[in-house]
Structure 1
Amino acid sequence: MRTLIASGSPLEPQIGFSRAVRVGNMLAVAGTAPIAPDGSVAAPGDVYGQTRRCLEIIATAISDAGLGLDDVIRTRIMLTDIGTWREAARAHGESFSEIRPACTFVEVARFIDPGWLVEVEADCVVQERAAQGSEV
């Protein structure tokens, strides 16, 4: 069964993509840009702030799919300047220091919006949860 998770972006049906797609126990979250709730660029010029916003959007998509951040097994962080990786890593660490998914940082030439300094992707695997009250 294929479940599409939408973010409400008007670009989703135009481009033909979903914020996330769940098939079986896998969930893939698309490249997520630092878009503020009003549609503007979040945290202009601030890689840390933009990465935090990307991760907030990803967390919402994961939650909308019925999963949690602890289901994330891989993240990809794409930066227009690899020299800023530590700023992005700090934001990533705030969300994933205990979960510790596989993570890759790459430099890209540019994004659709020149104000975007970072995009983040995430892959999840649904874990079996222990029934409440039972021993693990």
Structure 2
Amino acid sequence: MSSPRKLISSHSPFEAQIGYSRAVVQGDMIFVSGCTGYDYKTGLISPDVVDQAEQTFQNIAAALAEAGAEMKDVVRVRYILPDRKDFESTWPVLQKWLGDVRPAATMIQAGLMEEVMKIEVEVTAKVEK
């Protein structure tokens, strides 16, 4: 018998508008949707890619915590940036959050939903039960 699916919400307006969850817990796996640098409490986003990266990881950490996981449980990460030249400037933030975890990773250059968004990050985590 499979375990029930648990849906995690950040209450971002995008979730209701588009029809998705911030994260989905299925068994021992947690799939966190692409997160951007919006501060969900204020609805604001910094114009700086490094600030956005930091806020993005705060958003991911909050989703993981609600799912009963931590950053140490991340096994896969995808970075999406509209401008690949911005990626290197985010490395200190990535190192801070995932340096000891060292998940499998991919960086993709692609347009994001809004022009102000400079980075989007998606993670998959696995928790031991």
- TM norm structure 2: 0.91
Letter in 1 for 2:119: V
Letter in 1 for 2:118: L
- Structure-2 separation of matches of 1:122 and 1:58: 8
- Structure-2 separation of matches of 1:112 and 1:11: 10
Aligned position for 1:39: 43
Stretches of structure 2 that go unaligned for 5 or more consecutive residues are none
Aligned position for 2:71: 69
Query: Per-residue displacement from partner, 1:93-133 (whole Å, max 9, x unpaired)?
Result: 1111111111111111x2121111100000001124xxxxx
Give the superposition deviation at 1:13: 2.4
Paired residues for 1:15-30 under 5 Å: 15-30=18-33
Letter in 2 for 1:124: A
- Structure-1 separation of matches of 2:17 and 2:52: 24
Question: 2:8 aligned with 1:5, yes or no?
Answer: yes
Letter in 2 for 1:120: V
Percentage of matched positions with identical amino acids: 34
Give the superposition deviation at 1:82: 0.6
Give the superposition deviation at 1:7: 0.3
Aligned position for 1:127: 128
Corresponding residue to 1:83 among 74, 82, 85: 85
- TM norm structure 1: 0.87
Aligned position for 2:115: 114
- Structure-2 separation of matches of 1:10 and 1:86: 30
Kindly name which structure, 1 or 2, has the bigger radius of gyration based on alpha carbons: 1
Name the SS for the 1:74 alignment partner.
strand
Q: State the superposition RMSD in angstroms.
A: 1.1
Equivalent residues, number: 125
- Structure-1 separation of matches of 2:51 and 2:93: 8
Name the SS for the 1:67 alignment partner.
coil
Give the superposition deviation at 1:22: 0.5
Contact 2:81–2:112 (CA under 8 A) maintained in structure 1: no
- Structure-2 separation of matches of 1:55 and 1:48: 11
Stretches of structure 1 that go unaligned for 5 or more consecutive residues are 129-136
Give the superposition deviation at 1:89: 2.0
Aligned position for 2:52: 50
Moved over 4 A (4+): none
